[in-house]
Amino acid sequence: MLMVGMISISALAAVGMSMQFMMVINVLMTLYVVGGNALISRFIGQGRKRRASSLLYSLLIVASILSIFVTIGGYFGSKYLYAIMGAQGDVVEQGALYFKILSLGIILVFIDTLIYNALSAAGDTKNSLYIKLVSAAINAFLNYVFIFGHYGFDAMGIEGAAYATLMAYCFNLLAYYILLKKPYSKLNIIPIIRIKDIIRAWHVGWSAALERGISSISFLFFVSIIAAYGTAELAGYQVGLRIEGIAFMPGFGFAIAATALVGQSLGANNREKAYKMGIISGRVAYIFMGFVGFFLIMFPEFLVGFFTQDAQTIAVASYYLIFVGLAQIPLAIMFVYSGALRGAGATKTTLKVSIVSLWIFRVIPSYIAYKMGYGIVAIFIIMNVETLIKGIIYVYIYKQKRWLDTKI
């Protein structure tokens, strides 16, 4: 995003908007990832590594098949996707170039996401850390080479960013393959297909996928409202979202911890420990995210300045960061407690919360505010109020403890 922002505001908005499309694609990945996580963590908690490894093999086949449909749709429909979102002409052209290339490597994304989550559910996050660190360095270097044209390569602009991303994913898969072949790995590749386990993963995953689908559609509507304000507002939102992603990381990390530890504890038939794991993960997450939120509030323009020098874009992104900085604590609670519920297999509960919260408290109020002529700041305020409400809902549900009785 830093490098693409040097090309143009349109390129910056186009790459940012592509991440909204990836959220929709994540719906298909959720079908096998969330259910797989819940089952793998329980198998590991029961000391059944071989059963967990055979499930991973089965889900690798499922992921590969699903990716084919996404590749076809993304490659031939990329321009249409940007146009239907209300993006302006130059954003549509830049976005189509980027997303068409990215679509060709969707199978890499699907398999990478599956293995990363499976290892996390099994309790191995350190190896993924090392792999992703090297991958990020490769991605950054190739972005520099391909986008601007260095070391004998022609400057490819936004297309170069897409190629760099796919090559980094290739490295990920090679590294994961080597890791999974090691006998000491938390999971291995065992070519056994158990249809029963795939069906069990499906029963958990379908409601999580439906939740992700509704959430993705909701966010697409929300982004289309922001896009209606103009390219600078859209770019500012995307830049702000990327910077906020730094604050997200503790929430995501401890949500993964909660998912794995809750699932493993329930697999070991220890309900009290499962409950405490979510509480502890939540406390650490909101301390970290609250601390990062303070920096978002205090230094928004400084942070945005790394991405663009456009004054209007900087102003929009700065407003965004100030408001989301105030919402980091309820956001942390939402991340971790929803992760704990998914680890227990209670995906129908998270589905209901997402539908009600996103549409009743975010999308519909934002649309009304736009139609009434309110500025982009009003949209950001509505977004934060919805986050606060959702955090309160999850605290109530978690403390009820009914989710501990979920059967897979």
Query: In this structure, what token pair is assigned to residue 28?
Result: 């298909």
Per-residue pLDDT at 127: 92
What is the mean predicted confidence (pLDDT) over 158-166?
85
Q: Of 205, 220, 252, at which residue does a domain stop? A: 205
Per-residue pLDDT at 132: 92
Per-residue pLDDT at 342: 82
Residues 298 and 355 in one domain: yes
What is the mean predicted confidence (pLDDT) over 346-370?
86
Per-residue pLDDT at 257: 85
- Domain with 22 in it: 1-205
Residues 395 and 337 in one domain: yes
What is the mean predicted confidence (pLDDT) over 341-366?
84
Per-residue pLDDT at 43: 87
- 178 pLDDT band, cuts 50/70/90, is very high
Tell me: pLDDT of 168 over 90: yes
Residues 169 and 275 in one domain: no
Per-residue pLDDT at 354: 83
Tell me: pLDDT of 352 over 90: no
Residues 27 and 85 in one domain: yes
Per-residue pLDDT at 270: 86
Residues 308 and 185 in one domain: no
CA distances from 363 to 100, 225, 352, 377, 386 (A): 28, 9, 16, 15, 10
d(Cα 132, Cα 274) in Å, to the nearest integer?
28
Please provide the distance, in angstroms rounded to a whole number, between the alpha carbons at the two ends of the chain. Answer: 41
d(Cα 99, Cα 104) in Å, to the nearest integer?
9
Q: How far is CA 61 from the centre of its chain?
A: 22
Q: Of 172, 189, 205, at which residue does a domain stop? A: 205
Residue in 259, 275, 228 with CA at minimum distance from that of residue 399: 275
Per-residue pLDDT at 175: 95
Q: Dump pLDDT digits (tens) for 100-145.
A: 888 888 899 899 989 998 998 888 888 989 999 999 999 889 988 8
- The reply to whether 25 falls in a domain is yes
What is the mean predicted confidence (pLDDT) over 301-310?
79
d(Cα 343, Cα 38) in Å, to the nearest integer?
5
Q: Of 205, 237, 260, at which residue does a domain stop? A: 205
Residues 242 and 141 in one domain: no
Residues 82 and 156 in one domain: yes
Q: Dump pLDDT digits (tens) for 237-284.
A: 878 877 887 777 888 888 888 888 888 888 888 888 889 988 999 889
Tell me: pLDDT of 86 over 90: no
- The reply to whether 365 falls in a domain is yes
- The reply to whether 280 falls in a domain is yes
- The reply to whether 300 falls in a domain is yes
**Percent of the chain whose pLDDT exceeds 90:** 11
Per-residue pLDDT at 112: 92
- The reply to whether 223 falls in a domain is no
- The reply to whether 362 falls in a domain is yes
Measured from the Cβ of residue 269, the count of other Cβ atoms closer than 10 Å reads 10
- 8 Å CB contact between 149 and 156: yes
* HEC sequence for the chain: CCCHHHCCHHHHHHHHHHHHHHHHHHHHHHHHHHHHHHHHHHHHHCCCHHHHHHHHHHHHHHHHHHHHHHHHHHHHHHHHHHHHCCCCHHHHHHHHHHHHHHHHCHHHHHHHHHHHHHHHHHCCCHHHHHHHHHHHHHHHHHHHHHHHCCCCCCCCCHHHHHHHHHHHHHHHHHHHHHHHCCCCCCCCCCCCCCHHHHHHHHHHHHHHHHHHHHHHHHHHHHHHHHHCCCHHHHHHHHHHHHHHHHHHHHHHHHHHHHHHHHHHHHHCCCHHHHHHHHHHHHHHHHHHHHHHHHHHHHCHHHHHCCCCCCHHHHHHHHHHHHHHHHCHHHHHHHHHHHHHHHHCCCHHHHHHHHHHHHHHHHHHHHHHHHHCCCCHHHHHHHHHHHHHHHHHHHHHHHHHCHHHHCCC
d(Cα 222, Cα 358) in Å, to the nearest integer?
10
Per-residue pLDDT at 135: 94
Per-residue pLDDT at 245: 77
Please tell me which residue, 308 or 349, carries the higher pLDDT value. Answer: 349
Residues 46 and 190 in one domain: yes
pTM above 0.85, yes or no: no
d(Cα 192, Cα 290) in Å, to the nearest integer?
45
Residue in 56, 294, 296 with CA at minimum distance from that of residue 185: 56
- The reply to whether 212 falls in a domain is no
- 8 Å CB contact between 186 and 53: no
- The reply to whether 214 falls in a domain is no
Residues 165 and 243 in one domain: no
Q: How many domains does the chain have?
A: 2
Per-residue pLDDT at 319: 86
Per-residue pLDDT at 88: 67
Residue in 45, 23, 187, 165 with CA at minimum distance from that of residue 117: 187
Residues 84 and 144 in one domain: yes
Non-local (6+) Cβ contacts of 309 within 8 A are none
Residues 187 and 261 in one domain: no
Residues 277 and 139 in one domain: no
